[in-house]
Amino acid sequence: MKIAENYKYLGKINTPQELKGLSKEEIPEFAAEIRKELVSRVSENGGHLASNLGVVELTLALHRVFDCPHDHVIFDVGHQSYVHKMLTGRFARMDTLRKPGGLSGFTNISESEYDAFGAGHSSTSLSAGLGFAMADRLTGSDAYTVVVLGDGAYTGGMIHEALNNCEKNLKLIIILNENEISISKNIGRFAEHLARLRNKSSYFKTKKFTEEVLHTVPPLYRIVRRTKKGLKSALYGSNYFESMGITYLGPVDGNNFEKTESLLREAKKLGECVLVHVRTKKGKGYEPAETDPSRYHGVSPAGGKKETGKCFSEIMGEKLTQMAAGDSRICAITAAMCDGTGLCSFKEAHKERFFDVGIAEEHALTFAAGLAANGMRPVAAIYSSFLQRGYDNIIHDIALQNLPVTICVDRAGLNAADGATHHGLFDVAFLSGVPNMTIYTPVTAKTLEKALAESVSLGTPSAVRYPRGGENARINAEFYACGAEEKPLGAVANFAKDETLDAVVITDGIIAAEALAACDKARENGVRAGIILLEKIKPYGECAENVAHLLPRGVKKIIFLEEEIRAGGMGMLLSDEMHRRGMLYGTETEIMAVDDTFVKRNAGKTMYEDAGISADDIYKVLVK
């Protein structure tokens, strides 16, 4: 990566120690270079742009004030850590960001000692940071732990659970980065005056000296403390954090480097648990992102494959909106992902029945259970990898009571760019083990619409899982050209029942396209292979009957193929069901799935190749 001729500082300042050598007068130009590179790199590779543009000055201040990696900096989610990566020896590799074998789009403990804690999901940072700070206290370390979380992450319940366990004598600094909405009651002229006062070094010196003196006279200390607390509460309202024993500093303009660095230094001097409230502007320094930060939150890579037609999320949202027009019981729930899950059309049409609960998947599911128990038909749309958070709620609150909640499992399967934190590989296994649950696996617009309508009408718990993106033309042509979409949901085949075949691949989801390519190659080499595509996998007894009805006589080999984990997945459960029913007697069977691993991104390979379930992998099993 050529850098020296492009920038005055960037590429030459590669460590926090080198950063500390810059004067304050040089920081604005360095920040401008960082923003220029962010726009260039993210536009090319894809990734999170607006959030990273917003934290440039904050990240610079962090690495000048604290001594990483001795001190620990933990970013919530980690998607806003690109600047952090540039400053910690990884700038020369930024051209590999989010590419196979390259830098992760999130923090990753295996990537750098400066990444104290890996992430990809929201609201985990403070719990982890509390663990770091407590471990340092127990081992006698003088290290600081700094947690950087946004006001969006603050909507997650885990943050509040961790706040409840924070202790004043920990070297834990919580940076609350407010970049969209105000969450603080400290507004108005008095609060602004207090913030200005607190931002001055003299305030802290006076505060500390006064407390030391008053502590020598306990009765006087208690009287002054009560008076101060009552006066503050009367003038500008109670401060949530200070009520919990956490010193509150701010708010400060997080895009003003000098003010931010100054306040962080004062927070560090206190040597205790402190919350620093900063305000930053998403997309700062890049007008399109400043104007429309939501659009520039996640950016697709330049030259990337353009999706044609509507994505499954949009199809689901539009169909649910139509259904709700005719059924006043239907409600839609999202956990801060209205746009990502395709529910914006529902929000516009049925505002009173649309609920965005924030980054709180557990709450979303139990909230849905409450709605269902009182006569409604809730549909909760949640990414597969985020649904993992609500497993107990699915079992205890929804399934045990057999309530009519529909879970739309978005982003099912492998997700190449975001990597292991966002793979939707576990939902089939953990949902299959839940009694009363029905699982649909549609792969076309029509079957998705049909599955959604059927699931809402069941009156029992159900899940409709679908991948990111939209329809696959080859799958549509092979399985649905003859009108199979008009038949009841179950299973479809790309061969006739009286056809003579050597092998059959039984699969679900968009990975059927890999199976089709493998079967093409197998036929060219004398092995007659066909595919059964599942649109509904649970109940597995029903699924087994649907498959048996399609299987031709005399087939020698059956491969159960899935873009899911093997343990407890479709292949294991369906093959077991068919064996117990005597449907596979004398037939060789093999399961191809993700086998007890977190699929990583390796250079030069597709995600299917990394997982061992690519077309070539399937072909080798077909012909062996």
Strand partners, 48: 298
Q: Sheet of 377-383: strands edge to edge?
A: 354-356, 330-334, 377-383, 406-410, 462-465, 438-440, 536-538
Pick the catalytic residue: 41, 98, 171, 282? 282
Asked whether the beta carbons of 489 and 535 are under 8 A apart, the reply is yes
Asked whether the beta carbons of 239 and 246 are under 8 A apart, the reply is no
Backbone CA torsion sign across 225, 227, 229, 231: negative
> What's the CA gap between 76 and 68, in Å, rounded?
17
Asked whether the beta carbons of 253 and 195 are under 8 A apart, the reply is no
Pick the catalytic residue: 35, 377, 389, 450? 389
Asked whether the beta carbons of 42 and 82 are under 8 A apart, the reply is yes
Pick the catalytic residue: 33, 178, 361, 449? 361
Cβ neighbours of residue 360 under 8 Å, at least 6 residues apart? 155, 156, 157, 335
Backbone CA torsion sign across 603, 605, 606, 608: negative
Which of 283, 269, 192 is closest to 235 using CA atoms?
192
In the residue annotation, 553 being an active-site residue is answered as no
**H or E stretch covering 591:** strand 588-594
In the residue annotation, 389 being an active-site residue is answered as yes
Q: What is the 3-state secondary structure (H, E, C) of 276-310?
A: EEEECCCCCCCHHHHHCCCCCCEECCCCCCCCCCC
> What's the CA gap between 261 and 65, in Å, rounded?
7
In the residue annotation, 261 being an active-site residue is answered as no
Across 442-517, the runs of DSSP E, i.e. the strands, are 462-465, 491-493, 503-508
Residue positions annotated with a catalytic role? 282, 361, 389
